[in-house]
Structure 1
Amino acid sequence: MPMSVRVRLDLSYDGTAFSGWAKQAGGRRTVQGEIEEALRTVTRSRDVGFELTVAGRTDAGVHARGQVAHVDVPEELWADHGEKLLKRLAGRLSKDVRIWSVTEAPDGFDARFSAIWRRYAYRVTDHPGGVDPLLRGHVLWHDWPLDVDAMNEAARALVGEHDFAAYCKKREGATTIRTLQELSLERGADGIITATVRADAFCHNMVRSLIGALLFVGDGHRAPDWPGKVLAAGVRDSAVHVVRPHGLTLEEVGYPADELLAARGREARNKRTLPGAGCPC
């Protein structure tokens, strides 16, 4: 069997014109599909099945500033093209996706399973005039005044390890237990409110659902204790809206020291339960 080299890619993209990260049937434009096609083109390797693994599979319209992926490349191909790959990809890829680093990954590295946290930002403005036209693809307009202090009060009840079933789109066989490490909001001098959301991992629609609940608190439609009650109920609440994707950006992915990568990968593959919950079967 030919030897391969695991290569780490650090990248960013504007998700506006993409149908999400993951390849899809029907020819829809995706970030994964575009990068894999670019790799085949610049290495002149149409018969090589480049298969990217990503730290966070973003949905259609979601952006990324600090996304991480890996791909296993035949050893000979890496020797021939590795040093030139970054510049060649820059010339081949569309301008709404950029790769900033192409490096040989350390032993045990897996872009998805080795990660110990992902940090997202969601940006929203309540300015009565709307969103700055130059930021319209990255900031949500909420047409009610928002109380950031009330939103932060509500957010505190959501931090920690919980079953986030009430804030996730359920997937067969997948757990919804996550450790939310940070959820905080701050209004900048420009009036834009940035929510920082960091967790060991996220389930589908989790960030956008959490923000939807906090916006309802911020504009006075719900009390600050409501998001915590929704979490405790453990079921989807029709009042929790999944906010639009364009305000969301994956900002950064964290990894442990190189010598801990393999152990973290094994741990992340285990199905999680909450303490005292019993068998996950």
Structure 2
Amino acid sequence: MDERTRLRLDVSYDGTDFSGWAPQPDRRTVAGVLVEALDLLLGAGSATGLTVAGRTDAGVHATGQVCHVDLPTALWREREGSLLRRLSRLLPGDVRVRAVTEVPAQFDARFSATFRRYEYRVTDAPYGAEPLRRHEILAWPRPLDLDALNAAAAGLVGEHDFAAYCRRKENATTLREVTRLDWRRDPDGVLVATVQADAFCQAMVRSLVGAMLAVGEGRRPADWPAGLLRRRERSGEVTVAPAHGLTLVAVGYPDDPAEYARRAELTRRLRVPAEA
């Protein structure tokens, strides 16, 4: 078998017109568009093993997505200096590969990750979202209290069973460790929730946001979202926030490349990761 080289791709996309990351028959997806571009540039099937850090849902955006592919080493050496620029000319405007980096074969975009960080944007301005930002900001029809949002967030930080906030998958755990969850109001008035965890189960971030928004507008007490953590099945009381307000902004990896394999092994042992 020919020698192959693993490449890390840092990817951004506007999720508005994508049916999520994962390939789907007869649907436009980020992975599908990316594979099509790589096949055109490098030859069909040359890039193999496309693996992503977090399979975002339909409508979710990314500024810090990470994936990896394997290329024949000879082909990579031939195209190393031009691949990024050629991809920029070929890819549609709503998806960009911002960097292509050679990494050790032990690097796994999914299992070597130490955290995923998302941001969710909401405006409670009476006029709604600015037209140029309507695809990334949720317009909320009622005033939101920043202190109440942060009080609700505080009870969700830590390692918990987030079954109440997840779409359960068979044989997949809903135990997650949220290491950061807080809200800020930017100078333009937009409220931004930042949530970081080792991993997320499907719809978890948007479900957490939906619960906190209920507190922020005064419909629920501040301890209600944390109280749902006692449940062992998805809560029908939680409204899943719309996808377009959510953006994957960063994925973390060990500083020492020698730790990639150990981290991947640990992650596989702890859980079967689901979509974020």
Check whether the contact 1:36–1:51 (CA below 8 A) recurs between aligned residues: no
1:214 corresponds to 2:212: yes
**Cα distance between partner residues in 1 of 2:222 and 2:45:** 56
1:30-179 paired onto structure 2 within 5 Å: 30-43=29-42, 45-48=43-46, 50-179=48-177
Equivalence for 1:278: none
Using the TM superposition, give the Cα deviation of residue 165 of structure 1 relative to its aligned residue in structure 2, in angstroms: 0.6
Question: Which shifted more, 48-57 or 193-202?
Answer: 48-57
Equivalence for 1:252: 250
SS, match of residue 102 in structure 1: strand
Which residue identity is paired with 1:167?
Y
**Cα distance between partner residues in 2 of 1:67 and 1:47:** 22
Which residue identity is paired with 1:251?
V
Using the TM superposition, give the Cα deviation of residue 36 of structure 1 relative to its aligned residue in structure 2, in angstroms: 0.7
* Number of residue equivalences: 271
Which residue identity is paired with 1:216?
A
Q: Deviations over 1:67-112 (max 9, x none)?
A: 1110011122212222211111111000110111111113421111
Check whether the contact 1:39–1:50 (CA below 8 A) recurs between aligned residues: no
1:5 corresponds to 2:37: no
**Cα distance between partner residues in 1 of 2:2 and 2:184:** 51
SS, match of residue 61 in structure 1: coil
Using the TM superposition, give the Cα deviation of residue 186 of structure 1 relative to its aligned residue in structure 2, in angstroms: 0.7
**Cα distance between partner residues in 1 of 2:85 and 2:49:** 20
Q: 1:114 to 1:47 in 2, by over 3 A?
A: closer
1:263 corresponds to 2:262: yes
TM-score normalised to structure 2 length: 0.95
SS, match of residue 122 in structure 1: strand
**Cα distance between partner residues in 1 of 2:65 and 2:91:** 16
Unaligned regions of 5+ residues in structure 1, if any?
A: 274-281
**Cα distance between partner residues in 2 of 1:234 and 1:150:** 26
**Cα distance between partner residues in 1 of 2:2 and 2:27:** 32
Which residue identity is paired with 1:41?
L
SS, match of residue 269 in structure 1: helix
Check whether the contact 2:47–2:70 (CA below 8 A) recurs between aligned residues: no
Equivalence for 1:14: 14
Check whether the contact 2:115–2:196 (CA below 8 A) recurs between aligned residues: yes
Which residue identity is paired with 1:3?
E
Q: 1:24 to 1:272 in 2, by over 3 A?
A: closer
SS, match of residue 67 in structure 2: strand
Which residue identity is paired with 2:35?
E
Q: 1:101 to 1:244 in 2, by over 3 A?
A: same
Q: Deviations over 1:113-135 (max 9, x none)?
A: 11100110000011111111111
**Cα distance between partner residues in 1 of 2:67 and 2:184:** 30
Q: Deviations over 1:31-50 (max 9, x none)?
A: 1011111011012x124363
**Cα distance between partner residues in 2 of 1:119 and 1:130:** 26
Unaligned regions of 5+ residues in structure 2, if any?
A: none
**Percent of aligned positions with the same letter in both sequences?**
54
Which residue identity is paired with 2:206?
R
SS, match of residue 5 in structure 2: strand
Check whether the contact 1:186–1:193 (CA below 8 A) recurs between aligned residues: yes
Q: Deviations over 1:181-227 (max 9, x none)?
A: 00000111211000000001010000000000000000111000100
Equivalence for 2:192: 194
**Cα distance between partner residues in 2 of 1:104 and 1:60:** 29
**Cα distance between partner residues in 1 of 2:114 and 2:218:** 35
Equivalence for 1:232: 230
**Cα distance between partner residues in 1 of 2:125 and 2:40:** 46
**Cα distance between partner residues in 2 of 1:147 and 1:187:** 10
**Cα distance between partner residues in 2 of 1:41 and 1:51:** 17
TM-score normalised to structure 1 length: 0.94
Equivalence for 1:277: none
Using the TM superposition, give the Cα deviation of residue 2 of structure 1 relative to its aligned residue in structure 2, in angstroms: 2.0
